[in-house]
Amino acid sequence: MAKLYGRKPRLTLALEHVKSCCTKQCAMKTNITLKLDRDLLRKARVLAAEEDTSVSALLTQQLEKIVREREGYEQAKRRALARLKRGYNLGYKPPASRDEFYER
């Protein structure tokens, strides 16, 4: 598709959004207001333009990544704790008597 002034046409963006919503669960979107340093916002806009996206989309991608990583960490933590709770059979049998324990 042709690009206008370094950006994708609105129709292309809309079609990409519809395609992504059909392949993923598309949840209701909610607007938020952020207070950002003017210089940070300028740099974020430049970064978004370089990646042919919006600041909102950049923030969404980063937040989704953080949440996925946290969820992955929590799942791994639960699995590890469950393994520790079950314990491991290392084949240890306590000695029958104290004398047997101190035999060399």
Convert 10-39 into a string of H (helix), E (strand) and C (coil).
HHHHHHHHHHHHHHCCCCCCCCCCCCCCHH
Query: Which residues on adjacent β-strands are paired with residue 10?
Result: none
Higher per-residue pLDDT: 4 or 8: 8
Higher per-residue pLDDT: 104 or 65: 65
Is the residue at 95 inside a domain? no
Is the residue at 94 inside a domain? no
Q: What is the enclosing helix (H) or strand (E) of 49?
A: helix 38-50
Is the residue at 74 inside a domain? yes
The upper half-sphere exposure of residue 66, i.e. CA atoms within 13 Å in the direction of its Cβ, equals 6
Q: Are 12 and 22 in contact (CB under 8 A)?
A: no
pLDDT in tens, 19-48: 555 555 567 888 889 999 999 999 999 999
Structural domains counted in the chain: 1
Q: Which domain does 74 fall in, by range? A: 34-85
Is the residue at 18 inside a domain? no
Give the chain's end-to-end CA distance (angstroms, integer).
Answer: 81
Model pTM greater than 0.75? Answer: no
Is the residue at 73 inside a domain? yes
